[in-house]
């Protein structure tokens, strides 16, 4: 798998596919107005970065091979080519015209919509697999479970739903809830919490697609030990959360 370095943590390598997704998300954010506080101390106003999309770097990490399984008809590659064509027509020094801005933003949103379908499908599949496995382990442990639906919203993915699992173990209620698809150094996160306490354990999906839980929670989330998510780690997390509540 092709990777690029994460300069903030050079021990972590971000796959090229994730770098491309990250750059498209950032370009979408740049289309949104941001709060701007004047130096005179007046009321915050909205500052719109109208031309932030006009960068070749938005798609510099794109490689169709990274999306071959998700995009057999090449829809994403066509959308990227269209975006590149529009950006190539934007002058490097002269102001962007209204027509160029409209065409560029349209091309970016079209690209983002195609990418959204692929990323969301992949993320929902991964979340379903996590919940299914955890549910089976709970059954084997004679713990009762009940599914609910959680509502989330993220840049690129917009509003969407993921499963949430309620676990009744040892006369306590635990909730396995989705956090986000886009998290630092990973491709998604859930959390296991004991109710009504604020104690929780993070469950991260690594760049290799494998889910990892955290144990030794008495050392705090930052220093907790990471282990591949399994029936054994689920039991350990439940036991530790109960002791900390």
Residue 41 is predicted with a pLDDT of 55
pLDDT score recorded for residue 37: 52
Q: Indicate the Cα dihedral angle 60, 65, 67, 71, nearest 10°.
A: 120
Specify the pLDDT at position 218. 67
| Residue 213 falls in which region: left (phi positive, over 0), alpha (psi -120 to 50) or beta | beta
Per-residue pLDDT, 221: 58
Tokens standing for 242? 């109960």
**pLDDT in the model for residue 40:** 53
Q: Which of 192, 198, 195, 194 is nearest to 214 (CA)?
A: 192
pLDDT value of position 7: 35
Predicted local distance difference test score (pLDDT) of residue 234:
96
Alpha-carbon gap, residue 139 to 22, rounded angstroms: 38
- The pLDDT of residue 9 is 41
Phi/psi of residue 220, each to 5°? 90, 160
CA distance 21 to 117: 12
- 46 SS3 class: strand
Are the C-beta atoms of residues 87 and 54 closer than 8 Å to each other? yes
From first to last of its 245 residues, the chain has per-residue pLDDT tens of 554 444 334 446 899 999 999 999 999 988 765 555 554 555 555 444 456 677 888 999 999 999 999 998 999 999 999 999 998 888 777 777 888 888 888 999 999 999 999 999 999 999 999 999 999 999 999 999 999 999 999 999 999 999 999 999 989 999 999 999 999 999 999 999 999 887 888 999 999 999 999 887 665 656 678 899 999 999 999 999 998 87
| Residue 122, pLDDT score | 97
Position 91 scores a pLDDT of 75
pLDDT computed for residue 46 by the predictor: 46
Locate 45 and state its tokens.
């106003």
> Other C-beta atoms within 10 Å of 110: how many?
15
Structure confidence at residue 152 (pLDDT) = 98
In whole angstroms, what separates CA 154 from the centre of its chain?
A: 8
pLDDT digits (tens, 9 = 90+) for 102-148: 888 899 999 999 999 999 999 999 999 999 999 999 999 999 999 99
| Rounded distance between C-alpha atoms, residue 221 and residue 150, angstroms | 23
SS3 99: helix
CB proximity list for 2: less than 8 A, separation 6 or greater: 15, 16, 63, 66
Half-sphere exposure of 155 (CA within 13 A, CB side): 14
| pTM of the shown model | 0.85
Q: How far is CA 1 from CA 17, 60, 116, 117, 208, in A?
A: 9, 17, 21, 22, 9
The answer to whether residues 215 and 115 touch, using CB atoms and an 8 Å cutoff, is: no
């Amino acid at each position: 798998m092709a990777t690029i370095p994460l300069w903030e943590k050079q021990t972590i390598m971000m796959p090229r596919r994730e770098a491309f997704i990250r750059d498209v998300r950032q370009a979408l954010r740049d289309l949104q107005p941001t709060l701007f506080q004047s130096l005179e101390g007046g009321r915050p106003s909205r500052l719109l970065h109208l031309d932030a999309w006009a960068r070749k770097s938005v798609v510099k990490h794109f490689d169709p091979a990274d999306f071959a399984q998700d995009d057999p008809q090449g829809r994403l590659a066509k959308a990227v080519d269209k975006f590149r064509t529009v950006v190539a027509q934007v002058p490097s020094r002269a102001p962007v015209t209204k027509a160029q801005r409209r065409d560029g933003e349209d091309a970016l949103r079209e690209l983002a919509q195609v990418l959204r379908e692929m990323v969301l499908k992949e993320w929902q599949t991964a979340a379903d697999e996590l919940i299914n496995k955890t549910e089976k382990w709970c059954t084997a442990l004679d713990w009762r479970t009940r599914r609910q639906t959680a509502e989330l919203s993220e840049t690129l993915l917009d509003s969407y739903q993921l499963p949430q699992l309620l676990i009744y173990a040892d006369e306590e209620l635990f909730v396995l809830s989705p956090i986000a698809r886009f998290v630092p150094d990973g491709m998604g996160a859930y959390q296991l919490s004991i109710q009504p306490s604020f104690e929780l354990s993070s469950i991260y999906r690594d760049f290799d697609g494998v889910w990892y839980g955290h144990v030794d929670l008495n050392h705090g989330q930052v220093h907790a030990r990471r282990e591949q998510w399994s029936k054994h780690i689920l039991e350990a997390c439940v036991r530790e959360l109960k002791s900390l509540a």
